[in-house]
């Protein structure tokens, strides 16, 4: 190797860096903008079990993901081994994000990893995160301070070593400090902690609380006098991860808060649509307080006949309407379009019609005007509204489809509308292997309140793979929810009972039906 090559290799290797990033308490919305930017651009993501798994989706497909999670009874990797991984990856010239629950400097063992990086002369940066005590208190409506009830806040840990699970804090002495105590990682030693606080002089009537799964849709809490805290936590079956709060200001908390009053709070829904897709339905459900798990039963893959594509694009200026029957079709079409043309103006004078708002949004992102968005998001509804424009007689119409599209749209446009219709299949829908679904274990173990079928394809895949979808004892049995009449028909043809159908075939229609159903059922 010559001297120049040696210098280049050395410079390339020196670009490696480790970011010690706080993942916050659980809710992805509480992550900092800096943290998200680093996750999106990193080469390696090293994460623990307290970092919300949804954050992994922000990393690129090429990013290497390494699970080093440690929790009581589950020790994936020793701390020294984690340090070695960080050093080795950075020394290979990679950008590494070490994702830690909460804030790296609050019981996150960040100091130990910093020491390992310092000793190896590896560059690093610390990115703060929202620590769990502050976030859990806010989401549970628990004030940590008040000028009349508590002017100090103490952060304590029930144990720092998950292997030993031993108390390392003299809680009896902290009972003398007063103010508000925020105790991390203390659930396995709750009885001992409470006993020591009482021995230290705290009254049995001192207000206390436990918040489990804080900031997440599964958040649960109890408010109780210190003397009753252990019994009520046991009765409520509250477990880790959780924060224990003790102090007079806790007495100002209320049983219900802004977070817990969301109409779908505490509900869990399983979405069956293909993975890797931006989901308006997921966003809406989560905004209403629900937990959403992914159970993809279908997969969408590009599929194009190059000869047919060439023919269609050669005469693209001759079409008067282009009709999109799904968001998947719109995305695939635009990808093909920009392989053929470099300028959106080559789209030509075609008028655009879409089956629904989600499909229209794909085209509108390219500043294309969508002239018709079907109010009834079905093939029949789209066909009727197109015919009502009185523009189809002898008109050339291009319909963008997949491999499972129903023929009724084309039949009606040609038969009733007297249009000249060409179809262009640009994607195919196949059954996805449910055993590969990341959330399958959670679904089978804990169940869900509802499973949502967004198409006939998802329904057929569910039927085909029913032997792999048997719930464990004690799991919540979900009701079956359908996006619209055609999906309901498919489920019923396979002897499955429809518990809920969208008021009209759209995301908003299904959301409205879910809110109405679960608000009524309490």
Q: Which residues are catalytic?
A: 48, 70, 185
SS3 label, residue 143? coil
SS3 label, residue 269? strand
Rounded CA separation 214/25 (Å): 7
User: What residue has token string 């410079």?
Assistant: 11
Phi-psi region of 73 (alpha: psi -120 to 50; beta: other; left: phi over 0): left
Q: Which residues pair with 22 in a beta bridge?
A: 100
The gap between the terminal CA atoms of the chain, to the nearest Å, is 72
Q: At what angle do helices 379-387 and 408-415 cross, to 10 degrees?
A: 20
Residues whose CB is less than 8 angstroms from the CB of residue 458 and which lie 6 or more positions away in sequence, other chains included: 272, 273, 297, 298, 487
Question: Tokens for 250?
Answer: 């806790």
SS3 label, residue 49? coil
Q: Are 91 and 120 within 8 A, CB to CB?
A: yes
Question: Tokens for 207?
Answer: 């207000």
Question: 212-222 b/e with 16+ CB inside 10 Å = b?
Answer: bbbbbbebbbb
CA nearest 29: which of 330, 287, 337, 366? 287
Residue 4 DSSP class: H
Tell me if the bond preceding 241 is cis, omega within 30° of 0: yes
CA distances from 28 to 51, 52, 215, 459 (A): 9, 7, 9, 30
Output phi, psi for 285, to 5 deg. -65, -45
CA nearest 350: which of 361, 362, 339, 363? 363
Rounded to the nearest 10°, the torsion over CA 220, 224, 226, 231 is: -70
Q: Which residues pair with 294 in a beta bridge?
A: 271
Q: Are 300 and 277 within 8 A, CB to CB?
A: yes
């Amino acid at each position: 190797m010559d001297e120049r090559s040696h210098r280049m290799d050395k410079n390339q290797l020196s670009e490696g860096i480790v970011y010690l990033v706080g993942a916050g308490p659980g809710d992805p919305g509480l992550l900092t903008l800096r943290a998200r930017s680093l996750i999106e651009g990193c080469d390696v993501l090293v994460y623990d079990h307290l970092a919300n798994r949804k954050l992994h989706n922000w990393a690129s497909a090429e990013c290497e993901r390494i699970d080093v999670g440690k929790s009581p009874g589950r020790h994936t990797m020793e701390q020294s081994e984690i340090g070695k991984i960080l050093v080795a990856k950075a020394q290979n010239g990679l950008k590494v994000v070490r994702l830690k629950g909460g804030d790296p400097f609050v019981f996150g063992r960040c100091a130990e990893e910093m020491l390992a990086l310092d000793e190896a002369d590896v560059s690093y940066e610390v990115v703060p995160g929202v620590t769990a005590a502050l976030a859990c208190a806010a989401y549970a409506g628990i004030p940590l301070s008040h000028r009349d009830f508590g002017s100090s806040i103490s952060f304590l840990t029930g144990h720092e070593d998950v292997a030993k699970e031993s108390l390392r804090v003299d809680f009896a002495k902290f009972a003398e400090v007063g103010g508000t105590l925020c105790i991390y990682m203390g659930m396995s030693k709750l009885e001992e902690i409470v006993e020591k606080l009482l021995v230290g002089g705290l009254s049995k009537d001192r207000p206390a609380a436990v918040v489990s799964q804080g900031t997440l849709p599964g958040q649960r809490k109890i408010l109780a006098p210190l003397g009753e805290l252990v019994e009520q936590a046991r009765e409520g079956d509250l477990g880790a991860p959780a924060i224990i709060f003790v102090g007079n200001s806790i007495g100002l908390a209320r049983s219900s808060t802004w977070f817990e009053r969301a109409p779908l709070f505490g509900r869990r829904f399983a979405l069956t649509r293909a993975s890797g897709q931006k989901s308006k339905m997921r966003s809406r459900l989560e905004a209403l307080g629900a937990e959403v798990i992914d159970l993809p039963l279908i997969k969408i893959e590009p599929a194009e006949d190059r000869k047919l594509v060439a023919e269609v694009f050669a005469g693209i200026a001759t079409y008067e309407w282009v009709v999109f029957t799904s968001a998947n079709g719109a995305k695939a079409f635009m990808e093909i379009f920009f392989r053929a043309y470099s300028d959106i103006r080559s789209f030509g004078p075609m008028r655009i019609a879409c089956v629904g708002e989600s499909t229209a949004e794909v085209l509108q992102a390219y500043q294309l005007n969508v002239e018709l968005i079907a109010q009834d998001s079905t093939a029949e509804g789209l066909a009727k509204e197109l015919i009502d424009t009185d523009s189809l007689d002898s008109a050339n119409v291009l319909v963008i489809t997949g491999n499972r599209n129903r023929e009724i749209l084309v039949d009606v446009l040609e038969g009733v509308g007297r249009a000249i219709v060409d179809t262009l299949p640009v994607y195919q829908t196949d059954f996805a292997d449910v055993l590969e679904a990341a959330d399958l274990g959670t679904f089978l173990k804990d169940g869900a309140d509802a499973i949502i079928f967004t198409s006939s394809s998802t329904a057929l895949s569910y039927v085909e793979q029913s032997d792999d979808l048997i719930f464990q004892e004690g799991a919540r049995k979900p009701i079956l929810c359908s996006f619209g009449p055609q999906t309901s028909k498919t489920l019923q043809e396979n002897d499955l009972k429809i518990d809920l159908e969208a008021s009209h075939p759209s995301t908003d229609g299904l959301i409205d039906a879910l809110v109405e159903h679960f608000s009524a059922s309490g």
